[in-house]
Amino acid sequence: MSRESKSFLTILQPVFFLVGIFLLNFTARIILSPLLPTIENELAISHGQAGFFFFLISAGYLFGLLGSGFFAARATHKLIIVLSSAGVGLALIAIAFATNLSTVRAGLMALGLAAGLYIPSAIATITSVIKQEHWGKAIAVHELAPNLAFFASPFIAELFLTWATWRVALGSLGATSIIASLTYQCYGRGGEFAGEFPGSRAFGALVRTPAFWLMLTLFGLGVSSTIGVYAMLPLYLVREQAMHPSWANTVVALSRFHGPMLGLLGGWVSDWLGPKRTIVVSLIFTGIATLLLGLVSGWWTSAVVVVQPLVAVWFFPAAFAALALITGPNARNLAVAFTVPFGFMVGGGAIPTFIGMMGDAGLFAMGFVVAGSLITCGGVLAMLLNLPQTAKKLV
């Protein structure tokens, strides 16, 4: 085995630890999707109000990401990861015990806020311990978490809905997240350094970079192609396509079965084709498939549901590698903190809310057609992305 391979395998242990933390973080934000038909019935809310739940999570996520730079500048990235995981757990438990809609909404905001603190510190930690030529692979390993969460969440939801309630599901996930935070505090490695303050010269240089602003837009569309579609898909299949809830959750879960493998492949594809080309391929293919979700019916719907996320997972390893290329080492947490929130506000908040409102207007399918068209246009826009060949060494 070569020295480079040994070096890469050596750092896999802390990366896999972060995968576990990220898995809980991400599952906490998307488990609401397969639970949504049940929650909608119990709380007697409309499709638009149900979709607005994801906007609240995304709004909290926005504030968490934007505030992460201030916290990371005064603490270590490891401590931020620990606090994020514990905060996610407490928020889930609060939602599980909520007795009214206002409390649920406040809990969802808090959930997003705590979850938003995680990703900038995680990316800063990973890119500080791994050589640039392995960034795509390492980030792809980290991205196993959301891909596993997409696959497992419908099954987890179905298990709890069969034997317990959606409240027990959220409470159990919350307790697990708190245990994970304590474990990482004791045994986690890496990230024992502070981040860059948002008011620094690094931030000024970042906002003057044209590629940074283009990445803002692309992240919005990339998140739309994954979380945005996933959030409202079970509800769409049950209410519009008249699928049985159990079968709808099964189809959605199976559509993410290949996510972990294809996510890893996406890291290698990003290192081979380059981040720009990978982003273009991912958005155009996924956009067309999303558009088709609103145009087909019958057994074709299940087929398109399975095809839609095939290369959507390639976007994030390539996008994070692109962000790392346009920023210096100490400012990467800032690039993530200001790019990802916009992506989640658009893709994880505005798009699900829009699709839900279209559903209330009797145009549920058209909501997916519009979303797919926007994602496809994003792939074309990505062709304008101008990335340097090597990452900056100094800010």
Residue for token digits 């201030």?
Answer: 70
Give 393's pLDDT tier (boundaries 50, 70, 90): very low
8-state DSSP, 390:
S
Give 260's pLDDT tier (boundaries 50, 70, 90): low
CA angle 251, 253, 255 (to 5 degrees): 70
Contact 17/184 with Cβ under 8 angstroms? yes
Tens digit of each residue's pLDDT (9 = 90 or more) over 163-209: 888 899 999 999 999 999 898 888 766 655 555 555 556 566 666 67
3, pLDDT greater than 70: no
9, pLDDT greater than 90: no
Q: How far apart are CA 45 and CA 28, in angstroms?
A: 21
Q: How far apart are CA 153 and CA 52, in angstroms?
A: 20
Write down the pLDDT at residue 188: 67
Residue for token digits 């504030």?
Answer: 63
| DSSP reduced 3-state for 351 | helix
Range picked from 186-195, 215-224, 242-251, 319-328 for highest mean pLDDT: 215-224
140, pLDDT greater than 50: yes
Q: How far apart are CA 278 and CA 260, in angstroms?
A: 17
Write down the pLDDT at residue 186: 81
Write down the pLDDT at residue 342: 79
Contact 312/143 with Cβ under 8 angstroms? no
111, pLDDT greater than 90: yes
Alpha-carbon distance values, 178 to 75, 88, 209, 331 (Å): 20, 8, 38, 29
144-148, 162-166, 222-226, 325-329: least confident range: 325-329
For the chain, give every domain's residue range. Answer: 3-384
Give 370's pLDDT tier (boundaries 50, 70, 90): very high
Task: Please compute the mean of the pLDDT values over residues 293-311 and round it to a whole number.
Answer: 85
CA angle 108, 110, 111 (to 5 degrees): 60
91, pLDDT greater than 90: yes
Give 59's pLDDT tier (boundaries 50, 70, 90): confident
| DSSP reduced 3-state for 242 | coil
Write down the pLDDT at residue 330: 57
**Nearest partner of 152 among 53, 271, 260, 289, judged by Cα:** 260
143, pLDDT greater than 70: yes
145-159, 195-209, 358-372: least confident range: 195-209
Write down the pLDDT at residue 139: 72
Alpha-carbon distance values, 360 to 205, 345, 349, 364 (Å): 44, 21, 17, 7
Write down the pLDDT at residue 395: 39
Q: How far apart are CA 389 and CA 294, in angstroms?
A: 39
89, pLDDT greater than 70: yes
Assigned fold of 3-384 = Growth Hormone; Chain: A; (1.20.1250)
Contact 195/333 with Cβ under 8 angstroms? yes
Q: Is the pTM of this model over 0.75?
A: no
376 compared with 321, residue with greater pLDDT: 376
Give 349-353's long-range contacts (Cβ < 8 A, gap of 24+): 349/54, 349/55, 349/56, 349/57, 349/58, 349/59, 350/55, 350/58, 351/224, 351/228, 351/229, 351/231, 352/51, 352/54, 352/55, 352/228, 352/231, 352/232, 353/48, 353/51, 353/52, 353/54, 353/55
255, pLDDT greater than 70: yes
Tens digit of each residue's pLDDT (9 = 90 or more) over 32-42: 888 888 888 88
Contact 35/347 with Cβ under 8 angstroms? no
Average pLDDT across the chain, whole number: 80
97-101, 116-120, 201-205: least confident range: 201-205
Contact 115/84 with Cβ under 8 angstroms? yes
Write down the pLDDT at residue 391: 47
Write down the pLDDT at residue 169: 92
